[in-house]
Amino acid sequence: MSSKGFSPIISEYHILWEALKHYESRLEKLSSMETDEDKQLAYDEKLQDLDGVLSSIKAAAKSDFDLEFE
């Protein structure tokens, strides 16, 4: 992340992580409650994309500040 011009500080990593984990939880709930298969697929695709973003943030936080997120 930081290699693309965005260099968050430690507190910003924590805010991003917490916000994205909350969004992930919300998407999981919406997906599980959805009866329309197309909408459920859309939620699942967003969850898959979000997993990549979380992985990137986790790696950048580890590299920049030796932070560990779970």
pLDDT tens by residue, 4-58: 677 899 999 999 999 999 999 999 999 999 999 999 999 999 999 999 999 999 9
Residue 2: is its pLDDT beyond 90?
A: no
Query: Does 1 reside within a domain?
Result: no
Q: pTM of the entire structure? A: 0.85
Query: Does 29 reside within a domain?
Result: yes
Output the pLDDT for position 4: 64
Query: Does 11 reside within a domain?
Result: yes
Range 45-51 contact pairs with CB under 8 angstroms and sequence separation of 24 or more: 50/20, 50/23, 50/24
Tell me how far apart the alpha carbons of residues 67 and 34 are, in angstroms, rounded to a whole number. 35
Query: Does 13 reside within a domain?
Result: yes
Query: Does 2 reside within a domain?
Result: no
Number of domains in the chain: 1
Euclidean distance between the first and the last CA atom of the chain, given in angstroms as a whole number: 18
**With bands split at pLDDT 50, 70 and 90, how would you rate the model's confidence at 69?**
very high
Query: Does 21 reside within a domain?
Result: yes
Query: Does 36 reside within a domain?
Result: yes
Q: Which residues span the domain enclosing 29?
A: 7-65
